[in-house]
C-alpha cells in the first residue's frame, strides 16, 4: 500500500510527527512531497531520518518502491509513480503550474487505484486539493491534517473544502489510522507488490445479495436515489472502502452500522456519487468540440434561437464551464449576438451548490492556459472564480437522470464518464432519453470509455475516437416512461405450428388431404365483407374472375345464376347460423346446371369468417330418344318452344330488373365503403393527433422541468444575492465613512448613514440625481468630477470643507461591474485632525527655523552623508555665504574644498558613528573668503531630523576664536 503525503510551509514539523507515530514495520510505503527551493539541496532526508526507524531515502529515477520505506522528493522535480517504481520529471518553468502534490496524487491514483492513500499536511495555498479528488474517485482513502493543529492551515482547509476528505486528524493520529487501515482486507494483498492493481487471495469476499438489497433500500429511503441499476463491482468497492474506514470486516456489521448511524448512509451516498472531473478533461475531445462540433451548431442557429446544451452529470461544474468557454471561444465577436443556454445537472445537491459558486483552487492553473485564466477567471482568496459572464450562461440544478424529466430541443448533450458506472439496462434508458432530448442532427458527446452500445440504431458516429455521435431519425416512438428493472425478464418466443420433432407430415395428415381433395365439396372462406381469403377444392364451375380490375369479392366472381342465391344465403347466415339453399341454377357452357350453396359461419375467436360450399349433383346420363309420329312430334315441339321462349323472356326481364337493383345496392355499398374508408382515415388522423398530443405532453413535461430548474437556479441566486445584500448593508452601516454610490446617469443608488449628515441626504433621495442635492460641503464642480471619473476610469481626489470649516478628503472612484463602468463611488474622509496636526507641525517647524537662525553661534545641520541641510544666519554671516550656495551641497565640497579639513572629517565621522555624544576638535585653517580662522568645533548626532534622506543628522557648532578675528 502506498501513502502519498504532501506538505508545504510547516511541513517539517508535520512530517516529523507523522513518522514518529509509525511503528518500525507499518506495512506502508510513504512518498513525501514538499515544496522545496529549486536552487538548494534538501536536508529533509537527514532531518526526518532522525525522527523514525524507517529507512528515509531521497528518491531517484526508476527506484523500486518497497514497503516500510519513506521516499523524499528531490529539489527541482515533480515525482510520480508507475509500475511499482518512482519517476521524476523536471519542474515546470511556469511557477503557476508547479503543483507537485497534485502531480503525485494523480499518478498514485492511476498506479494504485483503491489501494492509494493521500494525506495533506500543513502548508499554504491549495496544492493537493485536486489530487485528493483523483484518489477519492478511484476508491482510495483521503486524509487531511486537522487545520487547528497545522502551522499553516491553507492546504488542509483547501482539501477539506473539496468535500472529498475521509478523515481529519492531527499527524500522530493519522499515523495510527494508517496502520489500522493497512491491516484491513480492502487494502491488504498477499503478493507484496506495492502499486500492483491485480487481485490476490486476500481479496475481500463478495457481498451477499440480501445485504446489498438492504443497503440499497436504506439509501433509497434516505436520499431518493436508486442504486440498483449501478454496476455492482463499483458498489462493492465503495462499500468495502467505507468498511475499511470504520474498521468493519463483515457486510452484516456494516449494514447494522448503517441502520444505527443515519449520517453514515449519507456519507455512503456521497461516496457512491463519484465526483471526479477537472477543466478540459481529455483535452483532445474538447479540441474536436471546438474545431468541428461547435462551428456546425453555430451555423445552424437562426434568428434569436439560443444554443441549448445539456451537461448530464456535471459534478462540481468544471465540465459545464469548460463547454461554456469553448462555445464563447468559437463565437468570438458574435458571443453577444447568439444566446447560449447550458443546463448542467447532477444528482448531488452538494456538487450543484459548489458549481453555482464557481470558485476553484489555484491548482486549476495546471489544466488552463494563461489566456483562459486571464479572460474567464478572476483571482480570489485561495483560488480562482469563474467570471460572472460565464456563470450566467450555466443553469445548475439537481436531477436524477433515471427518474426526472429530460430537457428538449437540445443542440448538444454532454454525458462523459457517467454511463460507465451504470448497468446496460440503465445505459440504454439514458441513451434513449438523450435521443429524445436532441434536435434533429443534434450531437451527443460521451467519455472515452463509453459507447452507445446496443442502441446504435439511434445515433450515427461523428467522431469515433472522441465518442461524438449525431442523432439519427427514427420512425417509431421511443418509450420515455420510468421503468423498473426487476420487472424486465426474458420472453421466450412461442414455438411455431409445425415446428415439432418430426421431419415431415404424418401419414394421417396425408390421408386427410387426399380424402378432402376427392370427396369434399369445393368452396371458399370469406371474411365479413365477402372478400375471399382462401380457395378450397376446384371452384372453377362456380366462380370465375370478373372483367376489369382484379377483385377477390365473392359476389363479383360468382358465375351467372349464383349471385342471388349466394347473397340470400350469406344474409341468412349472418343472422341465424349455417344456411343451405338448393335448386339454384348455374350456367355451364350453353346449358344450366342445378347446384346448392351452403354458408357456414366460422368461430375463430377473432374476426368473423364464413365457409361457402358448393354442392353440385352429378349430371344424369342422356336417355335414348323414342321414335314418334312426325305430326304429333312437330305440334308438341312448337308449343314447348313457345312456352320456353316466354319463360326465358320473363326470366330475362326479372334478371335484368334484379340486376339493376343489385347494382344500386352495390353502388350504395361502395359509397358506404368509401365513407368507411374516410372514417378510418379520420381515425388514423385522430390517432396521429393523439400521438402528437402525447409528444406535446412530454415536451410540456420537459419544459416544466426546465422551468423548475430555472426556478431552482433563481431561488439559489436570490438567496445568494440576499446574503450579499445583507452583508453589504451591514458593512455600510458599520463603517464611519460617508459613502455614496451613483449610477452612470448620476442618480443616487445607495449611501451610508454617515453620508446623510455630510451630504444632506435622506432615504427618499435614492433614485434622484445627485445634482439636485445641496450637500453640506463646498464642491461646486461635484458633478463634473463624477463624470470625469466615469469617463476616464481614473480616480478623482479633492480636499473640501464643510459649512463649519472642517476639512474632508473627497475621493471619487469608478464603479466597476466585471469589465464595465456603471457609475461611481464617492467617499468622504475626515482629515480635520490631520490638517490640524499638519498646521501645528508647520508652526513648530517655523518656530524651530527661527530659533535655529536666532542662535548667534554658527551652526550647520548635515545629513548622514555630510551634505548641508541647513546653515543658520550666523554661519552665513561669519563665513560670507549666500543662502543659495548652501543648497544641496556637501560640506567638504563647499567653496572648492575649503572645508575638506582632515580633523573636521574625523570629527564628523566619529559623531556619525558613536551616536548622540559631543565630539570636539580645534583647528586653525585659512578660508578663501575670510582668511585664517581658529575654530573650536563640536559635532553631535541628532536622531530623526533630516527626514527621508537619512535616519539622523549631524549638528556642527563652530566657535570662532576672537583672538584670530
Catalytic residues: 8, 35, 127
Q: Which residues pair with 558 in a beta bridge?
A: 543
- How far is Cα 356 from Cα 335, in angstroms, rounded to an integer? 22
Grid coordinates representing 157 are: 482547509
Best CA proximity match to 793, nearest among 750, 825, 829, 767: 825
Determine phi and psi for 453, rounding to 5 degrees. Answer: 60, -125
φ, ψ (nearest 5 deg) of residue 122:
-55, 145
User: Alpha-carbon distance 59 to 519, whole Å?
Assistant: 102
Check: CB of residue 275 under 8 Å from CB of residue 310: no
245 and 167 Cβ atoms separated by less than 8 Å: yes
Angle between helix axes 209-223 and 262-272 (nearest 10 degrees) is 100
Distances (CA, A) of 902 to 858, 870, 892: 20, 22, 10
Alpha-carbon torsion, ordered 691, 697, 698, 701, to 10 deg: 180
Residues in the chain: 965
Round to whole Å and give the CA distance between 215 and 117. 26
**Alpha-carbon span 234 to 163, nearest angstrom:** 20
Q: What is the 3-state secondary structure (H, E, C) of 384-438?
A: EEECHHHHCCEEEEECCCCCCCCCCCEEEEEECCCHHHECHHHHHHHHHHHHHHE
Q: What gap in Å lies between CA 771 and CA 554, rounded to an integer?
A: 101
DSSP SS3 for 918: coil
Cα separation, 20 vs 18, whole angstroms? 6
Let me know if 209 is exposed, middle or buried by CB neighbors in 10 A (0-12, 13-18, 19+). exposed
- 232-245 helix and 209-223 helix, angle to the nearest 10 degrees: 80
Q: Are 423 and 230 in contact (CB under 8 A)?
A: yes
Nearest alpha-carbon partner for 26 in 59, 73, 66: 66
What is the rounded CA–CA span in Å between residue 108 and residue 118? 8
Rounded to whole angstroms, the Cα distance separating 858 from 274 reads 86
Residues 593, 616 contacting (CB under 8 angstroms): yes
- E strands, 859-951, are 859-863, 868-871, 919-927, 931-943
At 23, phi and psi to the nearest 5?
-75, 180
Distance CA(436)–CA(477), nearest Å, equals 9
SS3 category, 27: coil
CA-closest candidate to residue 11, choices 101, 103, 132: 101
Amino acid at each position: 500500500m502506498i501513502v502519498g503525503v504532501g506538505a508545504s510551509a510547516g511541513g517539517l514539523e508535520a512530517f516529523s510527527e507523522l513518522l514518529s507515530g509509525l511503528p518500525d514495520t507499518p506495512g506502508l510505503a510513504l512518498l513525501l512531497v514538499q515544496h522545496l527551493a529549486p536552487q538548494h539541496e534538501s536536508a529533509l532526508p537527514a532531518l526526518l531520518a532522525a525522527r523514525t526507524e524507517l529507512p528515509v531515502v531521497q528518491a531517484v529515477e526508476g527506484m523500486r518502491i518497497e514497503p516500510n520505506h519513506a521516499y523524499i522528493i528531490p529539489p527541482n522535480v515533480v515525482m510520480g509513480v508507475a509500475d511499482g517504481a518512482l519517476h521524476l520529471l523536471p519542474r515546470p518553468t511556469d511557477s503557476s503550474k508547479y503543483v507537485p502534490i497534485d502531480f503525485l496524487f494523480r499518478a498514485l491514483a492511476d498506479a494504485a487505484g483503491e489501494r492509494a492513500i493521500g494525506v495533506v499536511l500543513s502548508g499554504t495555498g491549495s496544492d493537493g486539493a485536486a489530487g485528493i479528488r483523483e484518489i477519492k474517485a478511484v476508491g482510495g482513502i483521503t486524509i487531511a491534517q486537522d487545520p487547528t493543529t497545522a502551522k499553516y492551515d491553507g492546504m488542509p482547509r483547501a482539501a477539506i473544502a473539496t468535500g472529498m476528505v475521509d478523515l481529519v486528524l492531527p499527524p500522530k493520529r493519522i499515523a495510527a489510522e494508517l496502520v489500522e487501515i493497512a491491516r484491513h482486507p480492502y487494502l491488504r494483498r498477499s503478493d507484496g507488490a506495492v502499486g500492483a492493481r491485480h487481485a490476490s487471495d486476500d481479496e475481500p469476499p463478495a457481498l451477499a445479495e440480501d445485504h446489498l438489497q438492504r443497503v440499497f433500500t436504506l439509501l433509497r429511503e434516505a436520499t431518493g436515489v436508486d442504486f440498483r441499476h449501478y454496476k455492482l463491482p463499483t458498489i462493492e468497492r465503495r462499500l468495502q472502502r467505507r468498511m475499511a474506514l470504520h474498521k468493519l470486516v463483515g457486510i452484516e456489521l456494516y449494514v447494522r452500522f448503517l441502520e444505527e448511524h443515519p449520517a453514515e448512509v449519507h456519507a455512503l451516498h456521497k461516496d457512491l456519487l463519484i465526483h471526479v472531473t477537472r477543466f478540459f478533461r481529455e483535452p483532445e475531445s474538447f479540441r474536436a468540440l471546438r474545431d468541428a462540433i461547435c462551428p456546425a451548431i453555430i451555423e445552424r442557429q437562426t434568428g434569436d434561437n439560443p444554443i441549448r446544451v445539456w451537461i448530464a452529470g456535471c459534478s462540481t461544474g468544471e465540465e459545464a464551464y469548460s463547454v461554456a468557454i469553448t462555445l464563447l471561444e468559437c463565437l468570438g465577436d458574435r458571443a453577444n449576438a447568439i444566446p447560449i443556454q447550458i443546463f448542467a445537472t447532477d444528482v448531488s445537491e452538494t456538487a450543484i451548490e459548489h458549481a453555482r459558486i464557481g470558485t476553484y483552487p489555484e491548482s486549476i492553473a495546471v489544466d488552463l492556459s494563461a489566456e483562459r485564466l486571464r479572460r474567464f477567471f478572476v483571482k480570489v482568496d485561495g483560488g480562482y472564480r469563474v467570471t460572472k459572464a460565464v456563470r450566467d450562461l450555466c443553469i445548475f440544478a439537481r436531477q436524477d437522470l433515471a427518474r426526472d424529466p429530460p430537457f428538449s430541443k437540445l443542440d448538444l448533450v454532454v454525458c462523459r464518464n457517467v454511463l460507465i458506472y451504470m448497468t446496460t439496462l440503465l445505459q440504454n434508458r439514458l441513451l434513449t432519453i438523450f435521443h429524445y432530448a436532441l434536435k434533429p442532427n443534434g450531437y451527443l458527446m460521451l467519455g472515452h470509455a463509453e459507447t452507445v452500445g446496443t442502441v446504435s440504431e439511434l445515433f450515427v458516429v461523428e467522431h469515433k475516437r472522441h465518442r461524438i455521435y449525431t442523432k439519427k431519425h427514427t420512425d417509431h416512438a421511443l418509450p420515455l416512461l420510468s421503468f423498473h428493472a426487476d420487472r424486465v425478464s426474458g420472453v421466450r418466443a412461442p414455438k411455431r405450428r409445425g415446428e415439432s420433432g418430426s421431419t415431415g407430415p404424418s401419414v394421417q395428415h396425408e390421408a386427410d388431404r387426399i380424402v378432402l381433395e376427392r370427396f369434399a365439396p369445393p368452396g371458399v372462406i370469406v371474411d365479413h365483407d365477402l372478400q375471399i381469403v382462401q380457395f378450397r377444392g376446384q371452384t372453377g364451375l362456380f366462380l370465375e374472375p370478373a372483367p376489369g380490375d382484379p377483385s377477390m369479392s365473392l359476389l363479383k366472381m360468382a358465375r351467372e345464376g349464383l349471385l342471388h342465391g349466394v347473397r340470400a344465403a350469406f344474409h341468412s347466415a349472418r343472422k341465424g347460423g349455417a344456411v343451405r339453399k338448393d335448386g339454384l341454377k348455374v350456367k355451364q357452357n350453353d346449358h344450366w346446371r342445378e347446384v346448392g350453396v351452403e354458408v357456414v359461419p366460422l368461430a375463430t375467436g377473432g374476426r368473423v369468417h364464413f365457409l361457402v360450399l358448393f354442392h353440385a349433383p352429378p349430371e344424369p346420363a342422356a336417355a335414348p330418344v323414342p321414335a314418334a309420329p312426325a305430326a304429333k312430334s312437330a305440334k308438341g315441339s312448337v308449343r314447348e318452344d313457345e312456352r320456353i321462349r316466354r319463360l326465358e323472356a320473363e326470366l330475362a326481364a326479372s334478371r335484368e330488373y334484379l340486376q339493376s337493383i343489385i347494382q344500386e345496392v352495390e353502388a350504395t355499398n361502395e359509397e358506404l365503403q368509401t365513407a368507411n374508408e374516410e372514417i378510418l382515415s379520420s381515425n388514423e388522423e385522430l390517432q396521429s393527433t393523439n400521438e402528437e398530443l402525447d409528444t406535446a405532453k412530454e415536451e410540456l413535461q420537459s419544459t416544466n422541468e426546465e422551468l423548475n430548474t430555472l426556478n431552482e437556479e433563481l431561488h439559489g441566486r436570490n438567496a445568494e444575492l440576499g446574503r450579499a445584500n445583507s452583508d453589504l448593508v451591514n458593512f455600510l452601516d458599520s463603517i464611519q465613512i460617508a459613502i455614496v454610490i451613483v449610477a452612470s446617469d448620476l442618480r443616487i443608488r445607495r449611501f451610508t448613514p454617515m453620508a446623510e449628515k455630510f451630504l444632506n441626504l435622506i432615504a427618499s433621495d435614492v433614485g434622484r440625481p445627485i445634482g439636485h442635492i445641496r450637500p453640506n460641503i463646498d464642491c461646486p464642480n461635484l458633478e463634473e468630477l463624477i463624470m470625469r471619473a466615469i469617463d476616464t476610469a481614473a480616480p478623482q481626489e479633492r480636499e473640501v470643507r464643510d459649512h463649519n470649516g472642517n476639512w474632508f478628503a473627497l475621493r471619487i472612484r469608478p464603479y466597476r461591474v466585471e469589465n464595465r463602468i456603471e457609475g461611481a463611488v464617492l467617499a468622504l474622509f475626515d482629515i480635520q485632525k490631520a490638517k490640524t496636526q499638519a498646521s501645528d507641525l508647520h508652526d513648530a517647524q517655523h518656530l524651530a527655523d527661527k530659533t535655529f537662525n536666532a542662535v548667534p553661534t554658527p551652526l550647520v545641520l548635515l545629513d548622514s552623508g555630510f551634505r548641508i541641510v541647513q546653515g543658520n544666519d550666523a554661519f552665513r554671516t561669519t563665513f560670507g555665504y549666500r543662502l543659495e550656495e548652501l543648497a544641496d551641497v556637501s560640506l567638504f565640497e563647499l567653496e572648492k574644498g575649503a572645508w575638506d579639513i582632515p580633523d573636521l572629517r574625523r570629527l564628523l565621522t566619529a559623531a556619525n558613528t558613536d551616536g548622540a555624544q559631543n565630539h570636539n576638535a580645534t583647528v586653525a585653517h585659512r578660508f578663501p573668503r575670510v582668511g585664517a580662522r581658529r575654530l573650536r568645533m563640536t559635532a553631535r548626532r541628532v536622531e530623526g531630523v533630516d527626514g527621508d534622506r537619512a535616519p539622523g543628522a549631524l549638528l556642527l557648532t563652530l566657535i570662532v576664536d576672537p583672538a584670530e578675528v
